[in-house]
Amino acid sequence: MTRSVLAIDAGQTGMKVRVDTPDGRDELLFRGIDTHEPLLPQLAEVVRASLTRTHASPDVVAAGISGLTDRDADADALLALVAGTGIRSAALAHDSTTSFLGALGDRHGAVVASGTGVVTLAVGARDVARVDGWGYIMGDAGSGYWIGREALDAVMRAYDGRGPATALTDVVCELWPDLSQAYIALQGDEGRVRIVAGFAASVARCADAGDAVALAITARAARELAHSVSTAIARVRGGETETFAVCTVGGVFRSAPLRAAFADALTDGGRRGDVEIVAPRGAGIDGVVALPGLAPSHPLTAAVHRAGIA
């Protein structure tokens, strides 16, 4: 059955919305979710704003959500919040699920999605394994936040004389000219997670330019990401001998030095042949669109929270 879908790819940096109906497609962008605020009202607000802006009439809302917890995975509650809009069914999933579906579809493998946070999902013939995605305080190794935090640590070490000089110092001084007061300003800023994660792009630029400190941070991040992927695949492989596909998605992988270091770490310098890094078929938003029609036999179906979907 063909459904008209309002799909939300809800990340911490931004929310991408796609509205697919027989009349056409609309693409919208909203500010990222606030993880310290109730989630479902934020999604409902985006749904209503999207319908107002597009004048579309979808009957399904689907969302892939960064950091989705059992507390917020209530599709019935979301339907109640969008009552009167014409939407009759809902499907919610963690963004690791939608990233996988968008990137690999039905293929066995792993998808590592690294933006502000990071999560890895592997799917085998029968099993599913999620690795990390535990947030910036307890996990997210190799994420944009992790890289940004490493950059700030390196800058303050250089400032103290505990570490080598780095071009990252000039980048941080553009935001906080007095480094001795930077930690006070950062701790008091409600947007501190996004601010810290934003320095990942500066690390990538400095690594491209050959800065030794930025290259070292990049290499450590790549090893963390590769370790997560290897761990996830080992948990789902079972007795299968096939080569598992690996997709990398998210802003962190825009860094050419990081991509190269990740590939080297994952494949053991090309000596490991049971994994293959492949280009994604699509994006996370494509995986969100696929949620309502996911086959009952698919290993990821159990990870989708539904309401009103037969």
Report pLDDT digits (tens) over 193-208.
999 999 999 999 999 9
- pLDDT tens-digit readout, 25-41: 999 999 988 877 889 99
Query: Does the 106-280 domain belong in CATH 3.30.420.40?
Result: yes
**What percent of the chain has a predicted confidence (pLDDT) above 70?**
98
What angle in degrees, to the nearest 10, is found between the helix axes of 168-175 and 192-208? 150
State whether the Cα torsion 46-39-11-130 is positive or negative. Answer: negative
Average pLDDT for residues 143-160, to the nearest whole number?
98
State which H helix or E strand residue 256 sits in: helix 256-266
Instruction: Considering the chain, tell me which residue range(s) the CATH 3.30.420.40 domain(s) occupy.
Output: 5-100+284-307, 106-280
Topology given in CATH for the domain delimited by 5-100+284-307: Nucleotidyltransferase; domain 5 (3.30.420)
Q: Quote the distance between the C-alpha of residue 47 and its chain's center.
A: 21
The two tokens of residue 96 are 């690791």
CA atoms within 13 A of residue 76's CA, in its CB half-sphere = 1
Do the Cβ atoms of 29 and 14 come closer than 8 Å? yes
State which H helix or E strand residue 109 sits in: strand 109-114
Given this model, what pLDDT does residue 1 score?
Answer: 46
Given this model, what pLDDT does residue 310 score?
Answer: 55
Which residues, other chains included, contact 70 with Cβ-Cβ below 8 Å and sequence gap of 6+? none
pLDDT band at 158 (very low <50, low <70, confident <90, very high): very high
**pTM of the entire predicted model:** 0.81
- pLDDT tens-digit readout, 197-241: 999 999 999 999 999 999 999 999 999 999 999 999 999 987 767
Q: Is the pLDDT of residue 244 over 60?
A: yes
Average pLDDT of the chain?
92
Q: Are strands 60-65 and 5-10 parallel, antiparallel or unpaired?
A: parallel
